[in-house]
Amino acid sequence: MGYVLLVFGILALGAAVFFTVTTLLSYKKDRRHKALDKQHLQKLGIALGCYFASAIMLQMSIALLANWDLSTGLWVMAVAGAALFLPSFALLWIAFTLRFSRPDTEPKQLRIIKICLYGSIPFAIGAFLLMGEGFAQYLSYPLVSGFTINDTGFHWVTAATGAGSGFHLAWYGLFILTGFIVSYFVSDHEFYKMYHKHGILENCLFVVFVFGILGARIWYVVGNWNGDAAGGIAFADEVAAGRWYRIFAVWEGGLTVLGGVVAGVVSGALYLRLRRKYVDIRFAMDAVMPTILIAQAIGRWGNFFNNEVYGQTVAMSPWWNFLPTWIKLQMNFDGASRTFLEPGMMNVPLFLIEGIFNLVGFFVIAKVVPLVWKKGRELGVLGSMYLIWYGVVRIIMEPMRNVNYNMGTTGGWSVWNSLAYIIAGVVLVVVFELVPYILRKKKQTEPAAAPEQPEEEKPVEEPPHDAA
């Protein structure tokens, strides 16, 4: 029975993806229509129905094939959660695609799309938590964090086993890439509203990604040049021993957001200045930099699956009882020592705390501030506020961090970098607000230039008359 449900579930999922992709591509390409017609809506409705059916069949097949002995209550949570999560998550991406690929959609229908977009987010999260709670106790911990393919075959990878040799794909990289793509589309939409054109940032995207990774690695290597507080790798010793190539071993881990953002922002600004000269860099800061908080919130889930960059060890109760069971059980594994903690203990999930702070920061900077501060706000201020917000978040988070993940021998590298973020953000806000104000005042106090005197008009000579 389990295999039958698995086959039909996969077929239903394939049909759902087919109807979704073909419908969205059709509407995106056909610019003659400014609204989804009846046929489009019917196909999307069929797709959502297929997602619903697929989720039920796949969830039941997994439980049956894995021989999970679920109680009636857990069955209901697992199946109902899956049945609600998959279509709501699909609706989120459908609405997201329509919202940012066809902003010229008829206003009434566009309002409905926005409601579906923002309304599906909490619905999908709630359904996912319900589904996870249903089978959390039957999963293997630590959770799978990727896979490796080598001469011995295909292997699932966890924080306990390590990556090993061969080709390795980690969920960490997929989360970073997903966050980067979401950030791009949100930014692209802001550029469309200003310049009425999509794709201005396409080439800039690759430049920022490459230099962002490079900057993140350089920042990590510099910060841990003499090792860290937990006795981690000291790059100075590696270079002295002739193993200088370990500086470039990104696959061994070691990227820091603070360095990646700096390199990404600087390289992106230079690219726009050289190749998109019509783009106001201050506007680009406002459109792009707050969306980095979304990318960071998504990317932090990679730390969750890698079981890294967490906080101090604490008791699960009473303060952390609100967390889903699968998060608490994942946080019961200590990634640094690759051993489980005592029952009832967990590492503080900093990834989740920072992710929530980042999402709140995006909506505050990108939505609330423009709504409240409409008059007198200069371009570049919103982008500068990102630096202030993230710097404050990191200042709050650093004392909570497990010593194994502190950068530098004293553990203060990230704190000083966070302070630099805050100072840079404040300075930029002052500059962006003060300089235009001074220029306006200067223009007002300058004496008006004397009007130019018109040249004396010469009498118009009459054309000569012929003699009679």
Residues 27-31, mean pLDDT to the nearest whole number: 83
pLDDT band at 403 (very low <50, low <70, confident <90, very high): confident
Residues 353-359, mean pLDDT to the nearest whole number: 94
Instruction: Give the span between the Cα atoms of 179 and 199, in whole angstroms.
Output: 18
Angstrom distances, CA of residue 416 to CA of 312, 351, 358, 422, 425? 21, 20, 20, 10, 14
Is pLDDT above 60 for 80?
Answer: yes
> Among 49-63, 269-283, 360-374, 448-462, where is mean pLDDT lowest?
448-462
Q: Give the residue with greater pLDDT, 361 vs 205.
A: 361
Please report, to the nearest 10 degrees, the dihedral formed by the alpha carbons of residues 434, 438, 444, 447 taken in order: 180
> Among 14-23, 116-125, 234-243, 319-328, where is mean pLDDT lowest?
234-243
Is the pTM higher than 0.85?
Answer: no
The amino acid at residue 393 is V
| 225-269 confidence digits (pLDDT tens) | 776 665 667 778 788 888 877 777 776 667 777 788 888 889 999
Domain ranges of the chain: 1-138, 141-442
Residues 399-428, mean pLDDT to the nearest whole number: 81
| 209-219 confidence digits (pLDDT tens) | 888 888 888 88
Instruction: Give the span between the Cα atoms of 159 and 333, in whole angstroms.
Output: 9
DSSP state for residue 401 in the 8-state scheme: B
* 422-445 burial: b if 16+ Cβ within 10 Å, else e: beebeebbeebbeeeeeeeeeeee
Instruction: Give the span between the Cα atoms of 408 and 227, in whole angstroms.
Output: 6
Give the pLDDT score at 465. Answer: 46
> Among 167-171, 430-434, 447-451, where is mean pLDDT lowest?
447-451
The amino acid at residue 283 is F
Give the pLDDT score at 30. Answer: 80
Is pLDDT above 80 for 276?
Answer: yes
Residues 397-422, mean pLDDT to the nearest whole number: 79
Instruction: Give the span between the Cα atoms of 227 and 182, in whole angstroms.
Output: 34
Give the pLDDT score at 427. Answer: 94
Average pLDDT, the chain: 86
Give the pLDDT score at 115. Answer: 94
Using DSSP's 3-state secondary structure scheme, residue 153 falls into strand
Cα radius of gyration rounded to whole Å, the chain: 28
Of all residues in the chain, the percent with pLDDT exceeding 90 is: 42
Contacts 24+ apart (CB under 8 A), 369-378: 377/433, 378/282, 378/432, 378/433, 378/436
Do 398 and 422 meet the contact criterion of CB atoms below 8 Å apart? no
**Positions of E strands within 399-443:** none
pLDDT band at 58 (very low <50, low <70, confident <90, very high): very high
Give the pLDDT score at 458. Answer: 52
Alpha carbon 1 to chain centroid, angstroms: 40
- When mean pLDDT is compared over 130-134, 220-224, 231-235, the highest value belongs to 130-134
